[in-house]
Structure formats: C-alpha cells, structure tokens
Amino acid sequence: MSDRPILLWFRRDLRLADHPMLHEAVRSGRPLIPVAILDPVAEGWGAAARWRWGEGLRVFGAALAARGARLVLRRGLAAEVLAQLAGETGAEAVWWSRAYDPAARARDVAVKAALRGAGMAARSFPGHLLFEPEAVATGQGTGYKLFSAYWRAASRLDPGRPLPAPGALSVPASWPASEDLAAWRLGAALRAGEDVLRHHSAPGEAAAQARLSGFLDTRSARYAERRDFPAEDATSGLSEYLTYGEVSPRTIWSETARAGGNAKFLSELGWREFAYHLLHHAPGLAQDNWNRDWDRFPWRGDNADAEAWRRGMTGEPFVDAALREMYVTGRMHNRARMVAASYLTKHLRTDWRVGLDWFADCLTDWDPAANAMGWQWVAGSGPDAAPYFRVFNPVTQAEKFDPDGAYRRRWIAEGRADPHPDARAYFQAAPRAWALDPQAAYPVRRVAPAEGRQRALDAYERWKTLKMLP
C-alpha cells in the first residue's frame, strides 16, 4: 500500500456529498490533492458555462478550505499539468469522475494512456449519472430510441444509496502552488457582464441542497400541474447544479423518494439520463442529425431572422421573452425553450445547430447531452415519432401557458410606461452594437404564426420527396 498522494482531478463534480471518487479517496487514507484544470476542453465551453464553472470552483474551493484542504488551480493541457503536478508532489495516482460528452471522453482516454505510460495509476469513477449509459440496454443489447421504453427499463435498476460527505480530508505535507482563479478571467467572454448573471445565480453545493429541499417542501406537490407556466417558480431549478455536479442525481432521486416520491419530476431526471444514453450511442448527437434522412432537409443556415431571434427581436412576444430571459439570467424556462426552439427551426426554418450554438453560449446550465437531444427533438431529426404537423404555435402557447401575460410583461419593455426591472435590465445588458432602445416600438412580426407553420409544412413535404431520391 502506497501512502503517496492522490491527485483528485475535479471537473463537473464540484461537491463533497455522494461523490464516489472522493469517498473512495478518503477511505484510502492517503494524502489528497484536489486539482482543477483550465484546459482546451473547458476553454471550448460557451461563455456562460465557463463563467458558471468558475463560480462553482470558487465556492467548492472554499468548501475544501473549510475542511483543511485546498483546490489547486492550473492551466494547460490536462496530461501535462497532471504529470507536472505529480512530479512536484510525489503523487503516483490521478482519479476523476467520468465525463460522457465526446470532447471530454476523448481527452480522458488520452490522459489515461499518457499517465499509465508514465507509470502512474489513473482511475475514473461514476457519479454524474444515475445509471451508466451502457447499463441500460434492450433485449437485443442495443441502445433505446424511445424514452418511455428506456425509462421503464432504467427504473428497474437500483441506483444505490447516496454516499455521505467525508469529514476531514488527509492533506499533503506541503501544497503545490495554485494559480489565481480571477486570473483565469472565466467571465471575460460574457456579453452581459458578470454582475447581471451573478444576480440570478447561487452557485455551490449548499445552495443546491437548499434548492432541492425547497423544491421538495413546497413546489413538488404541484410540480406536474404548474411546471409549464414560465412566469411561476414551479420547476425544480436544479439543472445548473446537476451540470456542475453540485448535487448528484442520486441524491435527488433518494431525497425525492424520501419526501414521498414524484414520478413526473423523476421522469425529468430520466430525460437527462436518456440524453446521455443517446449521446453514448450517437457521439455525434450535437453535430449530426440523429436521423440521417434529415441531412437533406432544406434548412436555412444562419440568417437575418436567426439574428433577430438571438437578440429577442423577432416580434413574437413569447419567443422574445424567452430569448431575453436567457440573456439576462443564463437560464430559460423549459416551456419557453421548446417554443423558442420550435420557432427557430419551424417558423424561421433555421438549422437547429444555429440555435444550439446560441444556447451553448448563453446558458449557465448548459448540458452537452440534454441540449443536443432537445434541439433535435424539436427540429424533428431526433429520436422521437413526433408527427411533422406538430408545430408549436407561439400565440396559442402564450395563451395557454402565460394566460395573464406575466412572463411576457416581465421581459418585454417596449410599449410600457413602467416596464418590469428585468425587461429594462435586458436593454442595459444587450451589446451596444445591437442598438436596442426600450423606448422604440416593439418589432413587427417577421412572419405570421399561421404562415410560418405553413412554410414549415411545405418544406417538410418537399423534403419527404427529396429523401426518397438516391
């Protein structure tokens, strides 16, 4: 048994509780050196995601400090940084929690090979998901394509019980040097600026736990009934905590069961699992049509309508409210995401990847699997039997899910003598180059809802004949 230190490489697992790697590391009794690395994979994330990760690192570093440890920050290629740190500290092992998106996986495979080639031990642990993507399979041994069948099968498995958070951590005799988090300037690419997003963000494990308890105590009972109304605070709001691992899905699963269960809510957790299941079986999910027939669909590439969509200036109030909400808060209500995405891909007939890219840059809860699945589901290219005539009508959706207009009023300033503070905040946060003016008239619709629907259906009919051709 070695008593040399273990490097614990933290990525999207910024928590102490129910952390399989950390739990095992503490049990080993060896000195532990927590590390976070700003590497090309992290630098490839969108602006809001990079910033939010930094917020998570700051809070997690403080949590480690409270237990007598530290979070060592280094910048560079992960394999080189880890080898360098091993040399500095005498560590002979590097552990981490498994990641599942292709960019991170490719990196991790290479890092593992490099470390082992250098005579070090490299181990990865579960923890980001309830079920490993390959643990759920059909009778034929293949991946699932329908959520309901997937979730039926997955629900028969036991995710196990959450692990306790460790007490004191064993630390090395001396700590390697750490870079300064502020010097990483993780918020530098934010268009709206850090102060705007910080106003809507409460990072960290304690905040995640508080949000989870608050949800189970108050919102859970009416979740199924109210979750679709974007003006209400009726959703769990846990997505960004899951993204950075500030709470584990297993903790959510088990706490929900302890609170009396909530099948609808747990099935939403199931969708996150399903997204990673799909990504595992189709690593190109974020780039390529899941159904390759759609490669011949006559999408428009990026275009002026799409730019108006990004700016929340389409003239369709529910859609604009959604885009503005995301710009200011880094989040967007689930119902609004579907309507906004449907509008871009159907009414504006724009390639789903244009929307995916914008979401990737703006969302603090950005999840590589869930977003790829969601965009393809809306666009029609994803694993779903949604009939082509299922095109969201943005007006009908607003009447149904924002009946008193509270959501639209919160985000649309134009035409109001006394706009909501959030609606005003959007104009302050928007880039000067967009030349937005809250006093100006609200934009005229670029396309009427019925006409946009017809355009989408026409394109679909053309494509159906196109895809028959060799």
Partner DNA sequence: GAAGCGTTGTC
Partner DNA sequence: ACAACGCTT
* Residues designated catalytic: 268, 271, 299, 334, 352, 375
Residues 6+ apart with CB under 8 A from 390: none
Q: Rule CB under 7 A: is residue 439 a binding residue for DNA?
A: no
Nearer to DNA, 96 or 229 (CB): 229
Reading the block at residue 336, the tokens are: 């609004």
DSSP 3-state percent helix, strand, coil across the chain (nearest 5): 50, 5, 45
**Gap between the Cα atoms of 90 and 110, Å rounded:** 22
| C-alpha R_g of the chain | 23
Residue 403 backbone zone (phi > 0: left; psi -120 to 50: alpha; other: beta): alpha
CB distance 237 to 212 below 8 Å? no
Nearer to DNA, 95 or 276 (CB): 276
Nearer to DNA, 31 or 374 (CB): 374
Give the x/- contact pattern for DNA in 107-146, rule: CB under 7 A. -------------------------------xxx-x-xxx
Residue whose token pair is 């739990």: 23
CA distances from 134 to 137, 405, 416 (A): 7, 44, 53
Nearer to DNA, 434 or 460 (CB): 460
Listed residue (4, 30, 39, 15) closest to 125, CA to CA: 15
Nearer to DNA, 10 or 229 (CB): 229
Q: Rule CB under 7 A: is residue 389 a binding residue for DNA?
A: yes
Listed residue (101, 29, 14) closest to 63, CA to CA: 14
Q: Rule CB under 7 A: is residue 271 a binding residue for DNA?
A: yes
Q: Rule CB under 7 A: is residue 222 a binding residue for DNA?
A: no
Give the x/- contact pattern for DNA in 295-334, rule: CB under 7 A. ---------------------------------------x
Instruction: Identify which range of 112-120, 322-330, 393-401, 432-440 contacts DNA by CB under 7 A.
Output: 393-401
Q: Rule CB under 7 A: is residue 228 a binding residue for DNA?
A: yes
DSSP state string for 19-63: -HHHHHHHHHT--EEEEEEE-HHHHTS-HHHHHHHHHHHHHHHHH
Q: Rule CB under 7 A: is residue 448 a binding residue for DNA?
A: no
**Gap between the Cα atoms of 416 and 422, Å rounded:** 13
Give the x/- contact pattern for DNA in 61-100, rule: CB under 7 A. ----------------------------------------
Q: Rule CB under 7 A: is residue 263 a binding residue for DNA?
A: no
**Gap between the Cα atoms of 347 and 198, Å rounded:** 33
Burial of residue 437, with CB atoms counted within 10 A of its CB: 0-12 exposed, 13-18 middle, 19 or more buried: exposed
How many residues are there in the chain? 470
CB atoms within 10 A of CB 207: 16
Among 29, 450, 458, 466, binds DNA (CB under 7 A): 450
Among 88, 194, 268, 302, binds DNA (CB under 7 A): 268
Q: Rule CB under 7 A: is residue 335 a binding residue for DNA?
A: yes
Q: Rule CB under 7 A: is residue 390 a binding residue for DNA?
A: yes
Beta bridge partners of 350: 300
Nearer to DNA, 364 or 397 (CB): 397
Q: Rule CB under 7 A: is residue 148 a binding residue for DNA?
A: yes
Reading the block at residue 418, the tokens are: 């006394």
Q: Rule CB under 7 A: is residue 174 a binding residue for DNA?
A: no
Strand ranges across the sheet with 6-9: 72-75, 32-38, 6-9, 93-97, 121-125
Q: Rule CB under 7 A: is residue 465 a binding residue for DNA?
A: no
Residue whose token pair is 């390697």: 176
Instruction: Identify which range of 56-64, 94-102, 149-157, 187-195 contacts DNA by CB under 7 A.
Output: 149-157
Among 57, 94, 338, 429, binds DNA (CB under 7 A): 338
Beta bridge partners of 73: 36
Nearer to DNA, 47 or 391 (CB): 391
CB distance 32 to 26 below 8 Å? yes
Q: Cα–chain-centroid distance for residue 169?
A: 30
Reading the block at residue 221, the tokens are: 């009972």
Q: Rule CB under 7 A: is residue 386 a binding residue for DNA?
A: yes
Nearer to DNA, 277 or 324 (CB): 277
CB of 388 to DNA, least distance (A): 8
Among 327, 377, 411, 463, binds DNA (CB under 7 A): 377
Among 330, 360, 453, 456, binds DNA (CB under 7 A): 453
Nearer to DNA, 201 or 397 (CB): 397
Among 106, 109, 113, 149, binds DNA (CB under 7 A): 149
- The footprint of DNA (CB under 7 A) covers 138-140, 142, 144-150, 152-153, 228, 268, 271, 334-335, 338, 374, 377, 383-387, 389-393, 396-397, 400, 449-450, 453
